[in-house]
Amino acid sequence: MISMDHFCVICGSNQSVISVRRPVDYEYSVIPPEKYCYLRCRDCCSEWLSPRPAPEALAAFYPESYHAYSEGEDHGWFAKILVGARAKVRGRKYRSLLSGDSGSLFDVGAGDCRHFYELARYADLKFSGVELQPALAKRAKEMGFDVATGTLESMDIMPHIGRHDIVSMNHVIEHVNDPVEVMRRVLVMLKPGGYVIGQLPTNEGWESHVFGEAWAGYHYPRHLQVFSRKGLRRMLEKLGYEDIQIRSSPHCQIAISMQNILLKWGVKLQLRHGRSNIYGLLLLLSLPFEFVIAAIDKSGIIDFTACKPKGN
């Protein structure tokens, strides 16, 4: 019998090869009790963690010091400027996707929702979402936001069916156990003509080739799959999305890949929330490259948008 782990979790092909035999968590030094490798689909070139971790095993992949839990608290002045610039770009993008002047946005992985205040400066949106971490979801609720605790796969989506103009999911679908099911649910939650918008790493670019298994896009063991552009597009088309746009986005990933390589070479770096004391310097060094490779559409991070057909 062929193990399901050999089937591409993104396109369903059964043609796979091992791409990373012994992945390492350079950022947080998490060592899962089970041994995993990354397999690569010979058809769509996406990769996935094999064997598939049990849903209950995932919590241990995220240490308390995980950077996403401290967003905004540990940034230096330079990173704060970048975070502010990102909110401006996203807010304007969301506004451009609305058919009218205002709309409803559901954010998957909403955190404590502080970014909603930033986004509200650029787009007239009614915000809601879902957040896995109970403490963050509680904080969001205390601020008055309609935020469910848990995952999109497990939450009751009945009250959200056909309700949202935009579903945003930045750095989400590479973390979930069943990305196809997640994107199916998003489609159901969108209004006809509504858009899903997201950001994620892609192995289709020079970055993953240069850094190999130290490439930050693996973010092992937390990234359960790494999408190729072809795999992402194929998955969205199969589900019935249309007007699929995928393009490069400048990010901080090269700086983390550089940090990973230094750690791999045995350079002693003090890490806090997965970032070293020279992270700011690495960010400054890598940022010009980030913008150049984004301009020629070869980044290791991509933005995507896809529309729910109007007839649905």
Question: Applying CB under 5 A, what is the total number of residues that bind Zn ion?
Answer: 8
**Of the candidate residues 7, 11, 182, 200, the single one contacting Zn ion (CB under 5 A):** 11
Q: Which is nearer to Zn ion, 229 or 275 (CB)?
A: 229
**Of the candidate residues 44, 187, 224, 254, the single one contacting Zn ion (CB under 5 A):** 44
Q: Is 166 in the site for Zn ion (CB under 5 A)?
A: no
Q: Is 13 in the site for Zn ion (CB under 5 A)?
A: yes
CB contact at 8 A, 182 and 176: yes
Stretch binding Zn ion (CB under 5 A), from 12-20, 97-105, 215-223, 251-259: 12-20
- Radius of gyration, alpha carbons of the chain: 19
Q: Which is nearer to Zn ion, 191 or 223 (CB)?
A: 223
> How far, in Å, are 75, 189, 270 from residue 158 at the CA level?
38, 8, 46
**Of the candidate residues 20, 39, 41, 294, the single one contacting Zn ion (CB under 5 A):** 41
- 231 CB neighbour count, 10 Å cutoff: 27
d(Cα 206, Cα 305) in Å, to the nearest integer?
Answer: 23
Query: Burial level of 156, CB count in 10 A (0-12/13-18/19+)?
Result: exposed
In DSSP terms, 18 is beta-bridged to 39
CB contact at 8 A, 69 and 28: no
**Of the candidate residues 8, 49, 196, 263, the single one contacting Zn ion (CB under 5 A):** 8
Q: Is 282 in the site for Zn ion (CB under 5 A)?
A: no
**Least CB distance from residue 13 to Zn ion, whole Å?**
4
Binding site for Zn ion (CB under 5 A): 8, 10-11, 13, 41, 43-44, 46
